[in-house]
Each structure stands twice: as C-alpha cells, then as structure tokens.
Amino acid sequence: LLQQDGSDILMDTLATFEWRIGIESQQLPRSIAWTRDLPQQGDDGKGSVEEEHVVLVLCLTDFMDVVISVKKTLDSEGEEMGVGSFLSPLLECLNRDSKKVVTLLVTDSEPDYRTDARGVHLPDETLQSKLGMEDLDIEEVLVYLQLCKNISLVFLDGWQEVTNHVCAVTKALSKRPFKLLTERAELPFCVDGSWASGVRVERDGSGLIQVWSKQIQQLNRVSPAVASTVTAAYPSLQLLLQV
C-alpha cells in the first residue's frame, strides 16, 4: 500500500497527529486496520484488540475486478466466483469474521460522478462502458456488497481524500469507548437504575418511607443498610432535622 504514489500524504498526516503507526503484513492486501490498547489485560498488564473496521484502498482496475466478480456471483445464483481475483481474500476474511466492517476506497476514479436518490455514488458512463454493464447491474452489485457482505464503497479523488477518510475513522473509533461508557452509565442519582419506575407514592402517604430511603442512599458512602437504619429511626427528613 505504501508503495503507491501519494501514500506519503497519509503517513505525514498521521505523524503530525502523533498517532502510533504499525506497518505490518495484513490478511487483506492494501488494507488499513485499527487496534485498541486494553489496560490490565495479558501477562504484562496490557493487551490490544483489533477493531472490526477495515479500509481497503483500491485503484479503479481493482474495483472493476471486484464488480465483475460480484456480478458473476449473482448470475451464478450465489456461488462465489471471485477465486483468483481481488475479491477472493476479502470474502475469505469476511467468512472468518462476519463482524468485520469493510470500506472500499476507490481512488484514481473517473472525475465525474452522479448520486442517485439513495445517495449511492456511481461512476460515470465511461466506467460503465469499461465494465460492459448497465446502471442497474452496477447498482445491484453495490447493494449486494452493502447488504449481504457489509461492504461499503466510497469513490475518492486521490490520497488527500483517502487521508481525510482514515483520519475521520480514527477519531471516531477513539471516541467510541467513551461514548459507549456514557450511554451505558446510570445517572448517579438513579439507584440501581430504577428511578424512572421508582417507588410509587399513594395519596395516603404510603411509599414515602421508601422514597426517603432512596434519597439517603444518594449520599456518598451510604449503603442500603445504613439508609434503612436511618429511616427506621427517623421516618422523615423533618424528624432528622429536629435532632
């Protein structure tokens, strides 16, 4: 991947952000993957996990190879016909790990694009003539890749746009643990996460003692046992304030 002209734009940008970079052999040729450190994992107290997102940078010729292989697969009623093509290792990777989210970045593509009602970017008529396919055929391939293989497709104009895309994905992945934590975290004043369906207070006052107990538990280092003892001795806040 780094042997391609323009890849230095990506490397220089990543170095500017001081992000850690590892150059190593990948299961998928010309792919970019992400790993996340996991503290307190492994013998040395640290470990890492590979993110499910993978980006493949393809030239126009590779993309045409993928489209033709997928079209043959669809015409053969689902029998994979990508053996020996660029699509073959990609399908093997997805068969091993179905959770992978793959994005194909097509560079050196035709300068003219059009966008249909679904927002799918399609190459112009020149590419269609090279493939020997109609609009409907290409759209069928794109839909198959997206829905059946979880592979999205983005047409980019050169390595600067590839770099922008990689940086955007990196920033999004770096924020995901915090986002998941905030989505799962219960609010500190919701005891056991049950505030929304909390104690019902009737008109006769029944339920007030339970509400009073939960309010005490909101204080720092007050356990349910301590709260139960306090509410037994002082059934209301007013009685506690009179002490």
- Res. 188 pLDDT band, cuts 50 70 90: low
The structure tokens 């056991």 sit at 192
Cα 148 to Cα 129: distance, rounded to the nearest angstrom: 26
5-16 pLDDT, tens per residue? 888 898 899 888
33-91 pLDDT, tens per residue? 998 887 665 555 557 788 889 999 988 888 888 888 888 888 876 566 555 567 788 88
Looking at per-residue pLDDT, the higher value among 239 and 159 belongs to 159
- Res. 110 pLDDT band, cuts 50 70 90: very low
Let me know: does 172 contact 34? Beta carbons within 8 Å.
no
Cα 242 to Cα 240: distance, rounded to the nearest angstrom: 5
Question: DSSP secondary-structure letter at 110?
Answer: -
